[in-house]
Amino acid sequence: MRHHQISCQIALVLGCLVITSAVWSQERQRGSDRKVPPPLKFYQGRKIAQTMHYSGAEWLIRNEREREERCTLMWANLGVKPGMTVCDMGCGNGFHALRLARMVGKSGAVLGVDIQPEMLKLLQKRAAKARVRNVQPVLGTISDPKLPVGKVDLILCVDVYHEFSHPEQMLSAMRKSLTPRGVVVLVEYRAEDPQVPIKPLHKMSKKQIMKELPRNGFKLVKQFDKLPWQHMMFFGRDPDFDADKSDSADSSGD
Ligand SMILES: C[S@@+](CC[C@H](N)C(=O)[O-])C[C@H]1O[C@@H](n2cnc3c(N)ncnc32)[C@H](O)[C@@H]1O
């Protein structure tokens, strides 16, 4: 376990290079996202983690991952069915996307969104090797996942939400992309559990998650508490949420 802890942390430290501000200035230079505010350092009292760099992508497909995280159990409890349109948000090299593609079948589709084109190239390479044809790579920006409006049945966010430099913009866009009964599933390492061998910056507590999602128009609809390391929380659109309130919500960075 100790060896594992060290290798996990080295991988995260190596992988977590500062790319967000570089992406932000590129977007501004291109003029494609002029209204995007600067990346937040804190949100609702939580320090935002740096983006995991694509050079650390091998860690995402490590052999121990199933034993550590019981991904098979997580997938089995997602409620994904054939024919669905699902999104793997922050898909990296597609560890979850490829599995989701099999779960939705030929009649369904998986949108693999990431902000690093290199991650999407790795996803495409792995999809081609596995002969998976229903995964569509989508290059998002730090504030816009570029998802179709009202079309997505489920958005899976594994180990990514805590990296969002623009949580409010991302949540707003994700909310708009959902079908009326669509859900966002947040899977985050448990901050409450010191036994989970992941750096604190890359973990989230349920309390913190509940400080962030409901104020952005999401309602907790279900939880699955049997994963060894992670929270798994399902959020649907809160019908009472008035879109105007989001503008006045505190986004001061604390
Ligand atoms: C720690 S990795 C997790 C990858 C994958 N979800 C998994 O569990 O194997 C986080 C990924 O989220 C991506 N990411 C960070 N911010 C993002 C954003 N605003 N929109 C889309 N992807 C983002 C990063 O580029 C990185 O590939």
- Give the residue-averaged pLDDT of 10-26: 48
Determine contact, residues 220/10, Cβ cutoff 8 Å.
no
114 within ligand 1 shell (Cβ under 6 A): yes
Q: What is the pLDDT of residues 162-214, one digit of tens each?
A: 999 999 999 999 999 999 999 999 999 999 999 999 999 999 999 999 999 99
* Nearest C-alpha neighbor of 185 from the set 145, 231, 217, 117: 231
115 within ligand 1 shell (Cβ under 6 A): yes
187 within ligand 1 shell (Cβ under 6 A): no
Residue 29 banded pLDDT, cuts 50, 70, 90: very low
Q: Is the confidence at residue 249, as pLDDT, over 90?
A: no
Q: What is the pLDDT of residues 217-226, one digit of tens each?
A: 999 999 999 9
Q: What is the pLDDT of residues 95-123, one digit of tens each?
A: 999 999 999 999 999 999 999 999 999 99
| C-alpha 120 – ligand 1 centre gap (Å) | 11
Q: What do you get for the CA distance between the two ends of the chain, in Å? A: 35
Q: What is the pLDDT of residues 225-245, one digit of tens each?
A: 999 999 999 999 999 996 556
186 within ligand 1 shell (Cβ under 6 A): no
155 within ligand 1 shell (Cβ under 6 A): no
Name the residue with higher pLDDT: 30 or 175. Answer: 175
49 within ligand 1 shell (Cβ under 6 A): no
Q: Looking at ligand 1, which atom is closest to the CA of residue 60?
A: 9
Q: Is the confidence at residue 129, as pLDDT, over 80?
A: yes
Q: Is the confidence at residue 251, as pLDDT, over 90?
A: no
- Give me the pLDDT at residue 35, please: 82
145 within ligand 1 shell (Cβ under 6 A): yes
| C-alpha 138 – ligand 1 centre gap (Å) | 12
Q: Is the confidence at residue 20, as pLDDT, over 70?
A: no
* Atom 8 (ligand 1) nearest CA: 158
| C-alpha 91 – ligand 1 centre gap (Å) | 6
- Give me the pLDDT at residue 19, please: 53
| C-alpha 102 – ligand 1 centre gap (Å) | 21
pTM for the complete prediction?
Answer: 0.88
| C-alpha 232 – ligand 1 centre gap (Å) | 17
- Give me the pLDDT at residue 1, please: 38
Q: What is the pLDDT of residues 31-83, one digit of tens each?
A: 455 589 999 999 999 999 999 999 999 999 999 999 999 999 999 999 999 99
- In CATH terms, the fold of domain 2-248 is Rossmann fold (3.40.50)
- Give me the pLDDT at residue 48, please: 98
Choice from 24, 144, 163 to test ligand 1 binding pocket (greatest atom count within 8 A of CB): 163
